Structure 1
Amino acid sequence: MNRMLKILFFGLVVRPIVLLALGLNIGNRVKLPRGGPAVIAANHNSHLDTMVLMSLYPLKMVHLIRPVAAEEYFMKNKALAWFSLNVIGVIPLSRMFSKDVDQLFAGCRSALDAGDILIIFPEGSRGQPGKITKLKRGLCYLLQGRKDTLVTPVVMHGLGKALPKGEALLVPFNCDVIIGDSIAVSDDSKGFMNNLSEVFENLAQQCLTGSHYEN
């Protein structure tokens, strides 16, 4: 990953677009993790989700923010793979589950060991705007035995309308980014994911652009 390329891209391209085109209501920004190892777990409606979350950090920290993304999409050709790895700093993850758990999460765990902050979307893929789908347990498998790594839940609303799935044209739109208190992953993976779902629902109530999310 090229640190300077990442800083230039976010400083000259992403942040100006986010600040000028989107009306962001950011709630509890101080609750974002300021150092790693840490995980940001967010709902997912748009490719803008990752860009907005990374833009919340100062440029001097942006190289530490590592989005975990689908290998099948972001590694599908050489140009996209180079950009994803060297400019965005993506950690590719196969959604085909052809590997064992240790192999599957090797890149994520190495990044956490290095003190990075991962962005993970527990829904697994982009859903419909205004709807949070069932959360998958991969987050629990990743953090099993890692008591040093807390999860910061984030709910976003409106980004799925600003850049809908399958569209390339950005539409100016008011959006919410609401950050919750960091929580530790428990040994009870089902209980933890149920708790995270409840936290998402509670954070969604704080969104100004939408009163609630459907489940």
Structure 2
Amino acid sequence: MLAKLMGYFLLGLVRVLTGSQARWYGCPPKAEQRIYFANHQSHADLVMIWAALPKELRACTRAIAAKDYWTKTPFKQWITTAVFNVIYVSRDRSAEEDPLEPLFEALSHGDSIILFPEGTRGNAEEPQPFKAGLYNLAVKFPNVVLVPAWINNVQRVMPKGEVVPVPVLCSVTFGAPIKLQAGEERRAFLDRARNAVIALRDV
């Protein structure tokens, strides 16, 4: 019950601070299994996409979150597990477990996921080169729909290094799905996926 109330509170807060405009430019909101992949410039990105999705899609869509950061305090861990139902991934390269294993498990169970293929937040106007995770997921789950998204202005709401959000009008633009082509090499696919995200910036 507390988690549900916190979810409603955060949803209202995000909408007050950002306007939380969802723009379905290349595809409609649809109850199908998807991987939403987007640019990443703020800790607020996770909440922004979550708030932009319709209620019925939020219930079956899980964001990816860095385990080392989001489990630092009991409150961070509670809000990411109880409210957002995130999938924790390890950024520890020395860990024996494949960092994508939790994502494989979630997709195998039918969840949709929100992925930031840069792997870390950037400060540039364009996303950093995408890491291999999106490609590996597309290979393993060819029937999951890959939807690019551009998050606009959210870095001004919660800039890197800041803890107090400021009201700024923001939007999330969802583009046309892409597919891994037969025989397409990893870097070519990742560059094409990145370009699909960038193309939504000026839509």
Give the shorter-chain TM-score range.
Answer: 0.7 to 0.9
CA distance in 2, matches of 1:43, 1:8: 29
Taking only the aligned residue pairs, the percentage that are identical comes to 26
Equivalent AA in structure 2 for residue 146 of structure 1: F
Contact in 2 for aligned 1:129/1:160 (Cα 8 Å)? no
Give TM-score scaled by structure 1 length.
Answer: 0.82
CA distance in 1, matches of 2:42, 2:104: 25
Pair 1:74-2:66 in alignment: no
Structure 2 match to 1:142: 137
Higher relative contact order (CA 8 A, sep 6+): 2
Q: Output the aligned Cα RMSD.
A: 2.3
Q: Render the CA deviation track for 1:94-144: whole Å, top value 9, x for unaligned.
A: 1223346x7322211111122111010011111116332121111112332
Q: Render the CA deviation track for 1:135-190: whole Å, top value 9, x for unaligned.
A: 11111123323111121000112100011112121111122311111112345211
Structure 2 match to 1:90: 86
Contact in 2 for aligned 1:40/1:154 (Cα 8 Å)? yes
Aligned mate of 1:189, from 170, 186, 193: 186
Aligned mate of 2:23, from 23, 27, 33: 27
CA distance in 1, matches of 2:60, 2:2: 13
Give TM-score scaled by structure 2 length.
Answer: 0.87
CA distance in 1, matches of 2:56, 2:195: 33
**1:4-43 residue pairs with structure 2 within 5 A?**
6-11=3-8, 13-28=9-24, 31=27, 34-43=30-39
Structure 2 match to 1:44: 40
**1:87-166 residue pairs with structure 2 within 5 A?**
87-99=83-95, 103-128=98-123, 130-166=125-161
Contact in 2 for aligned 1:45/1:165 (Cα 8 Å)? yes
- Shift of the 114–5 alpha-carbon distance from structure 1 to 2, 3 Å rule, reads farther
CA distance in 2, matches of 1:205, 1:77: 38
- Shift of the 55–203 alpha-carbon distance from structure 1 to 2, 3 Å rule, reads same
Deviation at 1:67, TM superposition (A): 0.6
Equivalent AA in structure 2 for residue 68 of structure 1: I
Equivalent AA in structure 2 for residue 44 of structure 1: H
- Shift of the 56–30 alpha-carbon distance from structure 1 to 2, 3 Å rule, reads farther
Give 3-state SS (helix, strand or coil) of 2:104's partner: helix
- Shift of the 128–107 alpha-carbon distance from structure 1 to 2, 3 Å rule, reads same
Structure 2: 5+ residue runs without aligned partners?
none
Equivalent AA in structure 1 for residue 191 of structure 2: N
